[in-house]
A and B are shown apart, each in its own frame.
Chain A
Amino acid sequence: MTIVDPQTAEMLRETVAKHCERHADGALIRASRGEVPGALAADVATMAELGWLAVSVPEDHGGLGLAVSATGIIAEGLSACYSSDPLTGLFLGARALVHAQESDGLLAQVVEGSATPVLAWQENAHDFASPLPATEYRNGTVSGTKRWVASAAQASHFVVSAREDGRGVLVLVDASSDGVSLSFGTRADGTPIGELALTSAPSTVIARGSDATSALRRSLDEGTILIAAELMGHIDRMMKLVLEHLNTRKQFGKVIGSFQSLQHRASNMFVHQRLARSVLTTTLGCADLITEPAEFGQRAARLRARLNDTTQLIMRESIQLFGAMGITDENELSLHIKRCLSLLGYLGNSTEQRRYWTALSAQSARTGDTN
């Protein structure tokens, strides 16, 4: 994997921005709440056509050989559509296959959009530390329940984490197989999140033991970086909305942005926005080159914790600075707030990220020199 070069990065940014200009539709999002598949930033065919699915697939499978450095840019940009769905789920599925070194041609189909494997790993609310799953693989079939399956509505396959004789295993399940039952819950932003019930579903092992656990771990760490990138996009957009409001809303005969108490709140928001941006840029600029798992995990955890905390701050302050308008659904701000609420507790909240980072510090040989 390599880091996306500046020209390609700029091109990606422009493509995503153009796409969002045409497709951002708050009214559609509001109207589609609770529906499956709900409003998407782009459908699978469009994502494939724009090359967004090829980005994270290695070149020898027909992809572009980039990972989070490029997909992060797409996720961030899609925040202008108020959501990056179904990017994250598809990314997680593809990356799990990449890290498990899947070799029977599925990744080539991912590039074209003809196969859409998604990752089904989580069972309980606090699984980010990825304990051994209760889902069990035995003699070619897998049974168990997976929850919070992102992009499940688009899935052609599920990459499922399971246990086999007390060891971790990653298996591939065709979404249309017998024994596969998919239902949906609704997230804060009204979009669906999958619950996958597997009853002796036929499955193929793609990685076993430490190969399986490390492939899963790396995929989750990459996924958490992707979420962080999308959160950054929402932060920037919420800031923009708030600043417009501060510069136009008048009270006591002047624009409220001229009051120093509000200026200091806005400036404080900027300090955090700028900090979060720095950590994101640094991380996207180095992550794909990090091979040491603990170092990668620590980078991802620190980034995600910063983005989570900053997002909460920007959400809270934005609502406050908008006043009563901030607590209406009608305000554009609400679309970002609800999307962020759908993401903050997914793939590791701040406390889980810190716990993970701490565990990796203890593991890491270079304890004094943490990442």
Chain B
Amino acid sequence: MTYSAPDWNEIPEAEFRATIRECIENECPAELRYHPYRFPPEVTMPWYKALHRRNFIAPGWPVEYGGMGLNPSRHLIFIEEMEAMGTPWLHDAGVRNLGPAIIAWGTEEQKAYYLPRMHAGEHIWCQGYSEPSAGSDLASLQCDGRLDGDNVIINGQKIWTTSAHVATHMFGLIRTDRSGKKQEGISFMLIDMSLPGITVRPIANLGGHPDFCEVFFDNVVVPQSCILGEVNQGWKVARSLLGFERIWAGSPRRAMKVLRQLRRELETQGLLDDPLWADRFAKASFDALDAQDMYTQFADLVRTDGKVGVEISALKIWSTSIFQNLSEMLLEVTGSRSTLSTSGEDDLLAPYYESRAPTIFAGTNEVHLNILARSVLGLAKSE
């Protein structure tokens, strides 16, 4: 095949947007669009496959791995178009989060095996970090991995594992050494969820959806070749991934989505000309558009420096906070309609529910305030 993709960063913006829209219109069925919650993977798989086929599934990956190699501002436009046309939320922690880590840390065998399979949607990944006693204090995690010849025998538990009930694989942090500092005995493992000894129990969230789970490991035998990076050096791998995660968690795309919803509501109700609502809407718009400026700058830094500085915590805190503010404003704009439980595009409560988690995951916002105080502002360790 001689087809070669254009340089997505160089083609005119209008053409770039048109290409994405064309893809969505032709490949994403109407019944999948504007749905407030995440569908099970089999429902969205035809859409996922279409993105895979067109090499649109991993827009941030380098082109040689099937990505689009998008720079941050193009990446934002990509997301913007996807959100504006209501494309469904995918189980894509693999391509989004793990992919860049495998590209950075993986052996050639790991890259050759895992990358094409997550790209194709054959492997669906979940992230196994948190444990009942290791939340904000993640490095104290206890899920045990005993090295045994070429294998690791895993026993223990993970919790708040998003998509674990539908995932084929988990990238998880497992304690493989207890002799040194708590950060130094952790391995980053790629675990096949079909292995004997793994039990998954979904947990219903506030919105009533089973989005996250508890995962139990009972003598699960995983080959050591499934360790990403060095054994006991998983904290380093996880930290490098946190950079991507924080950029992702700090993306204003969710807030922008609610902003568009707010605008539609105000328009429909004829409230955009009401000075009070117009002022509140302008304020909400500034909060979200300013977050976009901030996001683009951090993303640019990541691209040019290849690393995320600790200041990124500011972005995460801001974007997740305004997501909540906007979702609360949506309830207010819709008056008594906001008290009703509905579904589909009219679900006014969905943004409220969905915006609760981001201030908690990827480091609670309070943990991020601590990070800023210590690492950016240089304030003394608190007791």
Q: Which residues of A contact B (CB under 8 A)?
A: 243, 246-247, 254-255, 257-260, 263-264, 266-268, 270-271, 274-275, 278-279, 281-283, 302, 305-306, 351, 354-355, 357-358, 361-362, 368, 370-371
Interface size of B by Cβ–Cβ distance < 8 Å?
39
Given known contacts A263-B369, A278-B290, A358-B282, A258 and B317 CB-to-CB distance under 8 angstroms = no
Q: Judge whether A267 and B377 touch: CB under 8 Å.
A: yes
Say yes or no: is B381 at the interface (Cβ < 8 Å to chain A).
yes
Interface string of B266-303 (1 = CB under 8 A from A): 00000010010011011101100111011011100000
Q: Which residues of B contact A (CB under 8 A)?
A: 260, 263, 272, 275, 278-279, 281-283, 285-286, 289-291, 293-294, 296-298, 311, 314-315, 317-318, 366, 368-370, 372-374, 376-383
Given known contacts A258-B382, A275-B294, A279-B290, A267 and B282 CB-to-CB distance under 8 angstroms = no
Cβ contacts under 8 Å, B298 to chain A: 278
Name 13 extra pairs, CB < 8 A, besides A255-B380, A260-B373, A267-B369.
A260-B370, A260-B382, A263-B382, A266-B379, A268-B369, A270-B377, A275-B294, A306-B286, A355-B275, A355-B282, A357-B285, A357-B286, A358-B278
Q: Judge whether B314 and A263 touch: CB under 8 Å.
A: no
Q: Judge whether A243 and B380 touch: CB under 8 Å.
A: no
Q: Judge whether A259 and B369 touch: CB under 8 Å.
A: no
Q: Judge whether A275 and B286 touch: CB under 8 Å.
A: no
Q: Judge whether B286 and A302 touch: CB under 8 Å.
A: yes
Give Cα A354 to B282, complex, Å: 6
Q: Which of B286, B368, B379, B383 contacts A246 (CB 8 A)?
A: B379
Give Cα A270 to B311, complex, Å: 9
Q: Which residue of B lies closest to A283 (CB)?
A: B293
Give Cα A361 to B278, complex, Å: 11
Q: Which of B278, B294, B373 contacts A263 (CB 8 A)?
A: B373
For the complex of A and B, list the 5 residue pairs with the smallest distance between their C-beta atoms, beginning with the closest. A263-B373, A278-B294, A354-B282, A258-B380, A267-B372
Chain A proximity of B336: nearest CB distance (Å):
26
Q: Which residue of B lies closest to A281 (CB)?
A: B297
Give Cα A213 to B379, complex, Å: 50
Q: Which of A243, A305, A361 contacts B377 (CB 8 A)?
A: A243
Dominant secondary structure at the A interface: helix
Cβ contacts under 8 Å, A270 to chain B: 314, 372, 376-377
Q: Judge whether B279 and A354 touch: CB under 8 Å.
A: yes
Q: Judge whether B369 and A264 touch: CB under 8 Å.
A: yes
Give Cα A149 to B339, complex, Å: 52
Q: Judge whether B372 and A275 touch: CB under 8 Å.
A: no
Q: Which residue of A lies closest to B285 (CB)?
A: A370
Q: Judge whether B290 and A275 touch: CB under 8 Å.
A: yes
Chain A proximity of B36: nearest CB distance (Å):
21
Given known contacts A267-B373, A275-B290, A357 and B382 CB-to-CB distance under 8 angstroms = no
Give Cα A361 to B281, complex, Å: 11
Give Cα A278 to B290, complex, Å: 8
Chain B proximity of A178: nearest CB distance (Å):
44
Give Cα A266 to B293, complex, Å: 22
Give Cα A305 to B376, complex, Å: 26
Q: Which of B283, B318, B378 contacts A354 (CB 8 A)?
A: B283
Q: Judge whether B297 and A278 touch: CB under 8 Å.
A: yes
Give Cα A271 to B250, complex, Å: 12
Q: Judge whether B377 and A254 touch: CB under 8 Å.
A: no
22 A-B residue pairings within 8 Å (CB atoms): A247-B379, A257-B380, A259-B382, A260-B373, A263-B373, A263-B374, A263-B377, A264-B369, A268-B369, A270-B377, A274-B314, A275-B318, A279-B290, A279-B294, A283-B293, A302-B285, A302-B290, A351-B279, A355-B275, A355-B278, A355-B279, A368-B260
Q: Which residue of B lies closest to A266 (CB)?
A: B377
Q: Judge whether B377 and A274 touch: CB under 8 Å.
A: no
Q: Which of A266, A354, A361, A371 contacts B373 (CB 8 A)?
A: A266
Q: Which residue of B lies closest to A263 (CB)?
A: B373
Which one of A247, A281, A370 has the greatest number of beta carbons of chain B within 10 Å?
Answer: A370
Cβ contacts under 8 Å, B285 to chain A: 302, 357, 370
Cβ contacts under 8 Å, A268 to chain B: 369
Q: Which residue of B lies closest to A271 (CB)?
A: B314
Cβ contacts under 8 Å, A354 to chain B: 278-279, 282-283, 286
Q: Judge whether A264 and B317 touch: CB under 8 Å.
A: no
Give Cα A271 to B317, complex, Å: 7
Which one of A267, A279, A357, A362 has the greatest number of beta carbons of chain B within 10 Å?
Answer: A267
Cβ contacts under 8 Å, B290 to chain A: 275, 278-279, 302, 306
Cβ contacts under 8 Å, A263 to chain B: 369-370, 373-374, 377, 379, 382
Cβ contacts under 8 Å, B311 to chain A: 274
Chain B proximity of A114: nearest CB distance (Å):
40
Cβ contacts under 8 Å, A362 to chain B: 272
Q: Which residue of B lies closest to A254 (CB)?
A: B380
Q: Which of B297, B315, B372 contacts A282 (CB 8 A)?
A: B297
Q: Which residue of A lies closest to B259 (CB)?
A: A370
Given known contacts A275-B291, A302-B290, A358-B279, A282 and B314 CB-to-CB distance under 8 angstroms = no
Cβ contacts under 8 Å, B374 to chain A: 263
Chain A proximity of B164: nearest CB distance (Å):
32
Give Cα A246 to B279, complex, Å: 36
Cβ contacts under 8 Å, B263 to chain A: 368
Q: Which of B294, B378, B380 contacts A274 (CB 8 A)?
A: B294
Q: Which of A258, A281, A305 contacts B286 (CB 8 A)?
A: A305
